Structures are given as C-alpha cells and as structure tokens.
Structure 1
Amino acid sequence: MLFPHLSSWALGLFLLPNALARPLHTQEAGSVLALDTDFPDPSFVQAADGTWYAFGTNGNGKRVQVASSTDFKSWTLLDKEALPTLASWETEIDHWAPDVIRRDDGKYVMYYSGEAKEMVRHHCVGVAVSEGTDPTGPYIPIETPLSCRLDQGGSIDPAGFLDKDGSRYVVFKVDGNSIGNGGDCNNGIAPLKPTPILLQKVAKDGFTPVGEAIQILDRDDSDGPLVEAPNLILHEDTYFLFYSTHCFTDPLYDVRYATSKSITGPFVKNGVKLLQTGDYGLTSPGGGTVCGCGDRMLFHGFCREDTRCTYAANLAISGDEVTLL
C-alpha cells in the first residue's frame, strides 16, 4: 500500500541497498520488469477473450491505473481512468491497491482502499461495479463501503476470492498501524497495534456481506510492524494466503505465504520469504498478487528511488510449497 505517514521515507530509503543502482536486466532471471513506471500494488484479472488486465494504486494522473497484456510479460499502460466517479464517503486522494474479479454475469467488481471523509488519513474498503463487461471500466462505486473499522485504524488492501463451491470472499487488512505509536510504519513503538487480515464472505453480487468477517492472520514479531497486501488462492486442497511484511519503504519488505486446509483457517505461517530484497536484483518487493491458477504473479518493487514498478514472475506449487521459476 501507499502508507500516509511518510516520515519513514528518509530512513527507509537510506537503508535501501545498492540494488537500486543495478541495471534492470539483472531482474530478468526470476522476474520480468512488466511496467517501467509508478504502478504499485498490482492486481490482475483475465478477460473472457484471454487478455490480462492489471490495476494499480493511484498514479500517472489516474485514481486507478489500468494496464493490459496478452502474454503476461509485456504490459501496456492504458490512458484510462477506471474509477471516474466517487462514492459520497470517500475523498479524492488515496485510491490504493485495487483488485478486480469477474462476476458470473460477465461484469467486473473492483475492490479498493479509499480515504474516509469521516476520518481523513484513514481508509475504508470500497466497491465499484463495471458499467458493462469491459474490464477497464468505467466502474461505478457502491455507496456503502464493504469495511471501514475506523476505530481500529481503517480497512485497506482488499482482494477477491472465488472458492471451489462458488462462494465469494474478500480478504483485507485492518490498518492498525495507522493509529500506532510511531516509529517503523507508525507501528514500531510498543505497544504495537494488531494489523489483522480478515476474511469476509459476500453474496453473488460480490459486495453484499454475508455474516461477519473473521480473522485469519495477524502480525507477530517476525513480521515487523505489520502484515498487509493479502491475496488468497486455492491450489488442489490447500489454501494459500500470500502477504507482505515490514514497511514498504524498508529493505525487509517481502512476500510470504501461509497455508490452510480450510478457507477459515487456521492459516500457518512457514516463514518462507518468497521474494525479498536482493532476489533477482529487486529492492523491497511486495504487494504480490498470484493467479488463481497458481502459476504467475505480479508484484511491485523499487525500480528507482521514488518509484515502485510492477514485475511479473512465474510460480510452481507442489503440495504446500511455492517456488519461483
């Protein structure tokens, strides 16, 4: 995500290793530079014709950025505003980490983080539905946010999931570090706030809550100040919850995963860093989104000092282990 308390930037960027100065071709061994522009928190969906569409946090003059690809390696940034109108609860700024799913009726549903007018610098998970069947939009926002939880710091980083029985869910982070006591990502000074990942079942429309959200993960000391950017897939009989740890400005920012045999958990962390600084010349890789098919991923990392580009990588899953190819 794009964290609002930017006082951590100076320290984080000072700590970044020399990877920022490495030529981009060093990143092609295990990942490909997909979008050489500011395109953080990438997610993606495949249209009915097989074309891939990626969506990114606000940047390049757009609230929600869109890119397309036919091969998942070469991506083109589109001059398209996916979210031209806003709901009444949100401000103009901070449209983070959009995630799009294709609904049974052919329309698309976008989940995103927006700043709440009720408590600026804190966020809710908003939902918007495509006007037609074009995955690039325009998306029309639903007036009621899916989750706010402003008393706990807000809700961010949503991602949709379709289970094997046809049930739909959304995972998201409770942004506890936004009300932390300062330090690393505003949550480095004790007592540290929880930053739980919640699972919310939704109706077939993709946005009407069914029951209450349940917690499936939270930070511990090995995660630094937070866990965030959840992404859930099912491979054979195992659920994989991908997530990032530490602050996005920190070289310790990474992509990890936890597994479970049940959608509701418990999800068990294995401590494996699927991506970390230094791998393939990357710096602070995170925000990973994995295809439901389990064989490809988009993620962001610092490609220049103030820019997080999007990268693509191929994966293999065997049992409960994920391997980068």
Structure 2
Amino acid sequence: MWINQASSWAFGLSLITSVTSSPIQVRTTGPWMAIDSDFPDPGFVQADDGVWYAFGTNGNNRTVQVARSPDFKTWTLLDKEALPTLAGWETQIDHWAPDVVRRNDGKYVLYYSGEAKEMLRHHCVGTAVSEGTDPSGPYIPNPTPLSCRLDQGGSIDSSGFLDKDGTRYVVFKVDGNSIGNGGDCNNGIAPLKPTPILLQQVATDGFTPVGDAVQILDRDDSDGPLVEAPNLILHGDTYFLFYSTHCYTDPLYDIRWATAKSITGPYTKTGAQLVKSGDYNLVSPGGGTVCGCGDKMLFHGFCGDNRRCTYAADITIQGTQVSFV
C-alpha cells in the first residue's frame, strides 16, 4: 500500500457513491461486509480455541487495529491497541498491512510496515511478539526491523508463511514506487521502478532472517505501476501467491494470483482476477489475505467517506483456479 491520491480517484469516488446506498450484506455466495469501519489491509489468524482475529492498518485512533470473530462470518472491532509501544527505528505514523502468525511455543508474531526515521515517507518491515498467548496482543516490537531496503524504496506489505516441512518464511514488497517518477501511485511515469515481491526465510522465532531474500515476482505492464500485498499459501503440491495490482486508489486495483511447484519459484502469473471493481458492487478490492487452510479470505474495498472496509469470503481452489464460493 502506498498513500498517494491518483488521478483516477475521482472515478473511484463516483463508483463509491453508486454503491454505498446499498451496502453489502452477509450473502450465501460471494464476499460479504465483515468490518463496516476503516480497516484496510487485513491479515488474520485463528487461535487454538477456533476464534479468528483480524488486524488492520492504522485507523480509528489505533496503531494496529484488531477485530474478532467466533465463526468468520460476523466480526467485532475490539477496543484494544495491538501495538502499544514502538521500536526505536520507527515514527508514530504509517503502520500498514499487519499480519500475524502463531509460533510453535503458542506465542504470536506480528509483521507490519512502519515509517523509518532514517528516511521519512519510506518504510521498513517491523516484527513484534505477543506478550502472552492472546492473539489480540499486546505485542512487543523487536528493536531491529526485518527488512528496510531504503535505497530501493523501502519494504512493506509483509506476510508470514509456514511451509509443510516446518520452515517459516515472510513475503514482502520492495516499495520501488515510493521512489518513482510520479503519476499513478508515484510510478506511472517512465522509466517505471520495479516493485518486486521477495521471499525471506526466517528462524523458528518467526523474525530472525536465515540467508538472503529471493525475488519471486515483479510487476509487468499488465500490473500497472506495481504489485503489492503478497500472501502465500500451499494447497496440495502447489504454492499460491496472491497479490494486488495497480494503485489502491484506482478502480483497476484487484486481487490476482500466481502459482509455483517450488516455494522459491518460478511463479507463473495466471492473469486471472479473483475480484475486481464492479464485482459484487465492490470498489477497488485488494489487499487480500488467505488462510493456510485455503478456503477463507479477507480483503478491503472502498465503502464511502474515504473508508476502506474489510470484506470476507469463502473461496475454493480447483487445480490452479481460485474462485469465490
């Protein structure tokens, strides 16, 4: 996610106006409104007792927002700050795209993007560990970020993954468009900067890097100015990398996926859009996260008053094809 008002914003607003008069309800097919509040870039995790917890970009006077659901259908925004203290490297603003994973010891690891004091308006991937075994936190930040790559624009949109052999990874975006030449999401004017998705192996603690990160995807002309919001799952013997294309303020913002037989790739873009503007009356849907079980998704879309609400969906995977139930 890169905060910049694109030229397409006016068109996006007209779409929002057309749909907010009839907000999405829980439905038998397709996505439904899960959190009717500004709750962008949702990540989520299931606790041992089966309860689901979702985490959203800063908003509603919270650095990291938390919501709870007993059944994945109905969600409640909690009156709680998941990240009450910050690390020394980060400023007080721009805590984006949180994601949480459960460790083998029962504690949880929070991944998030924070603004770097070293280079304002650019970001690093931070990590934090839950104080206890409550998924809603509080989380205590580690003093050192997982990735910065400020010379390439920074690191954002991190998401954790546990492979079938027990190896842990984090995928994230190198935020090249933040040092672009202007235009759509600051990367619409040639020469366009790369916005690669990287895969970083981490230790069992969930945050200590093991070896160097490897690139598994990047933008091409079909993606507009960027690819972002990566999320990795394994279904059968196939790795599915979900991601968004175009600028989040653009009606072209969407959710797509690529597949691979090895975790390091090569990943093949399917070119298919799981969801796009106009589907189910949605506006600029993106920032999708799929659970490791492969059948549940949260994502955001504009829902009026410049808010990005969270929507939930059941999904099905057949071969390399993904669709809503």
The normalised TM-score by structure 2 is 0.97
Q: Is the 8 A contact 2:294 2:315 kept in 1?
A: yes
* Shift, 1:65, TM fit: 0.1
Secondary structure of the corresponding residue to residue 284 of structure 1: coil
Q: Match of 1:13? A: 9
One-letter amino acid of the counterpart of residue 107, structure 1: K
Quote the Cα distance in structure 1 between the aligned partners of 2:16 and 2:297: 21
| Cα deviation digits, residues 78-135 of structure 1 (max 9, x gap) | 0000000000000000000000000000000000000000000000000000011010
Query: What stretches of structure 2 of length at least 5 have no aligned partner?
Result: none
Q: How does 1:154-303 map to 2 (within 5 A)?
A: 154-303=154-303
Secondary structure of the corresponding residue to residue 240 of structure 2: strand
Quote the Cα distance in structure 1 between the aligned partners of 2:305 and 2:294: 31
One-letter amino acid of the counterpart of residue 3, structure 2: P
One-letter amino acid of the counterpart of residue 12, structure 1: S
Quote the Cα distance in structure 1 between the aligned partners of 2:18 and 2:49: 39
One-letter amino acid of the counterpart of residue 18, structure 2: A
| Cα deviation digits, residues 190-249 of structure 1 (max 9, x gap) | 000000000000000000000000000000000000000000000000000000000000
| Cα deviation digits, residues 32-87 of structure 1 (max 9, x gap) | 10000000000100001000000000000000000000111100000000000000
* Shift, 1:26, TM fit: 6.8
Closer, same or farther: CA 245–27 of 1 in aligned 2, 3 Å: farther
Q: Is the 8 A contact 2:276 2:284 kept in 1?
A: yes
Quote the Cα distance in structure 1 between the aligned partners of 2:221 and 2:26: 30
* Shift, 1:305, TM fit: 4.0
Q: Is the 8 A contact 2:25 2:33 kept in 1?
A: no
The normalised TM-score by structure 1 is 0.97
Query: What stretches of structure 1 of length at least 5 have no aligned partner?
Result: none
* Shift, 1:27, TM fit: 7.7
* Shift, 1:294, TM fit: 0.7
1:33 matched to 2:29? no
Q: Is the 8 A contact 1:20 1:283 kept in 2?
A: no
Closer, same or farther: CA 235–110 of 1 in aligned 2, 3 Å: same
Quote the Cα distance in structure 1 between the aligned partners of 2:233 and 2:93: 30
Aligned pairs, number? 321
One-letter amino acid of the counterpart of residue 171, structure 1: V
Q: Is the 8 A contact 1:27 1:282 kept in 2?
A: no
Secondary structure of the corresponding residue to residue 156 of structure 1: strand
One-letter amino acid of the counterpart of residue 192, structure 1: L
- Identity, in percent, stands at 74
One-letter amino acid of the counterpart of residue 252, structure 1: L
Q: How does 1:306-325 map to 2 (within 5 A)?
A: 306-325=306-325
Q: Match of 1:24? A: 23
Structure 1 outlier segments of 4+, above 4 Å: none
Q: How does 1:79-228 map to 2 (within 5 A)?
A: 79-228=79-228
Quote the Cα distance in structure 2 between the aligned partners of 1:46 and 1:224: 34
Q: Is the 8 A contact 1:26 1:280 kept in 2?
A: no
Quote the Cα distance in structure 2 between the aligned partners of 1:26 and 1:36: 10
Quote the Cα distance in structure 2 between the aligned partners of 1:224 and 1:69: 35
Closer, same or farther: CA 109–268 of 1 in aligned 2, 3 Å: same
* Shift, 1:320, TM fit: 1.1
